[in-house]
Amino acid sequence: MKHGLPHLLGVTLLSLTVTGCVTERTYSGTDVPVSERAMDKEAAARERMQLGLTYLQRGNSEQAKFNLDKAVSYAPHLSEVHVALAYYYQTVGDLVRTEDAYEDAINSGNATGDARNNFGVFLCQQEKYERAEKQFLAAINMPKYTRTASSYENLGVCSRKAGDNAKAREYFEMALKYDPRRTASVNDLIELAMEDADYSGAQKYLSYYHKLSGETAESLALGIKIERELNNIEAAKRLGILLIAKFPQSKQAKEYRANMH
pLDDT tens-digit map of 129-141:
999 999 999 999 9
The partner residues of 130 in beta bridges, in order of sequence, read none
Q: Which residue has the higher pLDDT, 261 or 4?
A: 261
* Cβ contacts of 150 within 8 Å, gap of 6 or more: 6, 9, 117, 175
Mean pLDDT of 65-80: 95
DSSP string, 193-225: HHHTT-HHHHHHHHHHHHHHH---HHHHHHHHH
pLDDT tens digits, one per residue of 217-241: 999 999 999 999 999 999 999 999 9
Mean pLDDT of 151-164: 97
Helix (H), strand (E) at residue 126: none
Give yes or no for a contact between 153 and 185, defined as CB atoms under 8 angstroms apart.
yes
Mean pLDDT of 168-183: 98
The partner residues of 22 in beta bridges, in order of sequence, read 37
Mean pLDDT of 172-194: 98
Inter-residue long-range contacts of 217-224, CB under 8 Å, 24+ positions, other chains counted: 217/243, 217/246, 217/247, 217/250, 217/251, 217/252, 217/253, 218/1, 218/252, 219/1, 220/246, 220/247, 220/252, 221/252, 221/255, 221/256, 222/1, 222/190, 222/194, 224/256
Residue 158 has pLDDT above 90, yes or no: yes
Output the pTM of the full model.
Answer: 0.81
Amino acid identity, position 82: H
Amino acid identity, position 256: Y
Mean pLDDT of 122-129: 97
Q: What is the DSSP letter of 162?
A: T
pLDDT, averaged across the chain: 88
Residue 116 has pLDDT above 50, yes or no: yes
Q: What is the pLDDT of residue 40?
A: 87
pLDDT tens digits, one per residue of 4-57: 444 433 333 332 223 333 334 544 555 555 443 446 899 999 999 999 999 999
CA-to-CA separations, 19 to 14, 40, 45, in angstroms, rounded: 15, 6, 11
Residue 3 has pLDDT above 70, yes or no: no
Topology annotation, domain 40-111: 1.25.40
Q: Which of 124, 142, 125 is nearest to 133 (CA)?
A: 124
Radius of gyration of the chain (CA): 26
State residue 36 phi and psi, 5-degree precision.
-120, 140
Residue 196 has pLDDT above 60, yes or no: yes
Neighbours of 102 (CB within 10 A): 27
Q: What is the pLDDT of residue 64?
A: 96
* Domain boundaries, given as residue ranges, for the chain: 40-111
For residue 203, name the pLDDT band (cuts at 50, 70, 90).
very high
Give yes or no for a contact between 191 and 1, defined as CB atoms under 8 angstroms apart.
yes
For residue 110, name the pLDDT band (cuts at 50, 70, 90).
confident
Vertex 210, ends 207 and 215: CA angle to 5°? 125
Mean pLDDT of 160-178: 97
Amino acid identity, position 73: S
- State the burial class of residue 88 (Cβ atoms within 10 Å of its Cβ: 0-12, 13-18, 19+): buried
Q: What is the pLDDT of residue 213?
A: 95
Q: Which residue has the higher pLDDT, 261 or 38?
A: 261
